[in-house]
Amino acid sequence: MSHDWKASSKRFINTLLGAGKVDRVPYFALIMEQMITRIAGINVRTLYSSPKILADSTIMASEFLNVDTLHIPTAWAGPSEALAFAEANDKKNVIKWFDYLPIFIEQGKICQTVEDIENLKLPDHKEIKLWKTTFAAVKRVREKRKVGHALSLGIWNLVQQLRGVQAFKDMRENPEILLELCEKIYQSQINLYHDWTKEVGPIPSIFYTGYSFNKTMMSFEDAMKFEGQFINRLQKELGVPFILHNCGMKPYFKEICNEIDFIAVNGSHPLDINYWVDFKKKFPKVTIMGATIDVSQELLTGTPLDVEEKVKENILNLAPGGRYMVSPICALPWNVPLPNILAISKAIETYGYYPIA
């Protein structure tokens, strides 16, 4: 059976905007390197070797899992952006490759010293091979399947990759130097946005990974200082809607939605469904993507029936009235049984059609 991307796009966009007719609850999943390589039967080096392989493998995995969005895994200012900084600063030796996982940058090696931060060069994304491949792959996905494609940004996630645990000491001992690093990362992500629009075309939304907004990470005040203020500036500068992703255990979803406008939140914690029912009441215009479907719970250790029950619970509690998408969080891991993953789309088919029973 061929995938109806036109129908997928419509249900995704209408749910995100809370407007128009939606036939059923959309399915959004973070299908990254670990899942694409597994489904396509290739390793990460092969996946990144050409725009065609990167695009076609992403399409294959997304259609196999029957999701409603397409997203090239490297179209994220996460590991791909850290790699760009490594290359721009002649530190390619800190880039680590794995067969079935995203590339990894040894944390804290690119900005080991204060001088490293002061002298940090911003990458030219048009000259970085992985970004060139990514731009071309996004174009190919859009041409082949006629769907929109978001760009993923994130300031603190890069701070941690470049500065490592030293960033947490800087917060107390030298906040100025940390802000200087945030500022450089911010500028690089603005550049990335403009390079993308030039090379690929308009960006419908930003999928923002706001990892600092977590009680286990830092206070809400510090999160606003080292990430939130930059999100505000990004929003002003870019003028497109932002979706907030946070896969931490104690996220500040309610607090941040009081301060910053997001069109949607994507998270799996707290695991208490009542928190999310209350969230929906308090923020009726913020679409919930996920709620309590965590990839390290039922999906990892349960049965397909357990997964179905979890998805059903989320749909019945959060889908009435719209603005809800099923989304397991975070990235679908390599070690989750495929029958459990396939149980998600099965549950959506069974329980996700409007009106919700």
Quote the CA–CA distance of 177 and 99 in Å, as a whole number: 36
Burial 182-207 (b: 16+ CB within 10 A, else e): bebbbebbbebbebbeebbeebebbb
Task: Give the angle subtended at the CA of 8 by the CAs of 150 and 61, to the nearest 5°.
Answer: 70
CB of 265 to Zn ion, least distance (A): 12
Q: Residue 117 or residue 185: which is nearer to Zn ion going by CB? A: 185
Measured CA to CA, the distance from residue 86 to residue 121 in angstroms comes to 10
Cβ distance to Zn ion smaller for residue 136 or 206: 206
**CB 211 → Zn ion: shortest distance, Å?**
7
CB of 288 to Zn ion, least distance (A): 16
Q: What is the DSSP string of 2-21?
A: ---HHHHHHHHHHHHHT-S-
CB-based burial of residue 286 (10 Å sphere; 0-12 exposed, 13-18 middle, 19+ buried)? buried
- Measured from the CB atom, the residue of 89 and 268 that comes closer to Zn ion is 268
Distance, in Å, from the CA atom of 225 to the CA atom of 183, rounded to the nearest integer, reads 12
Nearer to Zn ion, 51 or 251 (CB): 251
Report in angstroms how near the CB of residue 102 gets to Zn ion at its nearest: 12
Task: Tell me how far, at minimum, the Cβ of 6 lies from Zn ion, in Å.
Answer: 29
Question: In the complex, what is the shortest distance from the CB of residue 66 to Zn ion, in angstroms, rounded to a whole number?
Answer: 21
* Cβ distance to Zn ion smaller for residue 22 or 247: 247
Interface residues with Zn ion (CB under 5 A)?
A: 247, 330
10/293 Cα distance (integer angstroms) = 23
9 versus 62: smaller Cβ distance to Zn ion? 62
Cα(173)–Cα(223) distance, integer angstroms: 16
CA distance 14 to 16: 5
